[in-house]
Amino acid sequence: MSDLAYSGGRAAVPVVARLSGVRKRYGENTVLDNVDFSVREGEFVALVGPSGTGKTTLLRLLAGLESASNGRTEVSGNTSVVFQEPRLIQAQRVWKNVLLDDAHQPDARSRAAAALQDVGLEDKLESWPVSLSGGQAQRVAVARALYRRPDLMLLDEPFSALDAFTRRSMQSLVLKLWAKYAFGAVIVTHDLDEALIVADRIVILSKGRICHETRVDLPRERDVTSPEFNALKRDLLKQFSLSLS
């Protein structure tokens, strides 16, 4: 995608994904209604909003898992998805779960090992999925996404089933990988703290439309107890409440 996006005084940055005037209908039900949305190279965007408002549908459009009813979807480069569940194949060892259909490639196993090393599971290369904890299984899912060498990583509530400690650990891991590989990222989450911890920009969806966007210009790592963090959280809660009216 050759065109560029601007953000305030920031330099122009290539756009890796864009929805333009997108509508998505299932029968008579309109899930997304005239949505314009873009992600810049190396940007981390969080999608929040009430249940059933189209967040996962938007993600699936970017992933190529759905087609828009109207409008235009453009995505450049490689895209990978981390789902809410790890979706590991129990009959295959961990490294083959990272590879999926690429086991025939000559460098595939070494690339799988490198991806597992990136998520701290190099010692689980030959393990079976049943032996993994929930957090470890989701790390394998992240390694599988990394193996694709994505320009855009899409995360659909990837940590919602994890305990609070493991969730914070996974947030830190994804941020470390994002900083290392500079892919664009979009995460769907119901947790405003999570959105504020990971995102450069937060987008609120309501009734199939984007009703609010805000930039998060806090330094990383972000302190959830800081006045600045909580001021942004209060503003988001206010905007979230307005979106329900």
Which pLDDT score is estimated for 3?
A: 54
- DSSP label of 156: E
**Does the pLDDT of residue 243 top 60, yes or no?**
yes
Helix (H, G, I), strand (E, B) or coil at 62: helix
Strands (E), 114-244: 152-156, 184-188, 201-206, 209-215
* pLDDT tens digits, one per residue of 33-61: 999 999 999 999 999 998 889 999 999 99
Q: What is the pTM of this model?
A: 0.92
Mean pLDDT for 134-156 is 96
Helix (H, G, I), strand (E, B) or coil at 198: helix
Higher-pLDDT residue of 3, 151: 151
The beta-carbon contacts of 132-135 under 8 Å, at least 24 apart in sequence, are 132/88, 132/94, 133/166, 134/161, 134/162, 134/166, 135/162, 135/166, 135/169, 135/170
Residue range 4-85+151-244, CATH number: 3.40.50.300
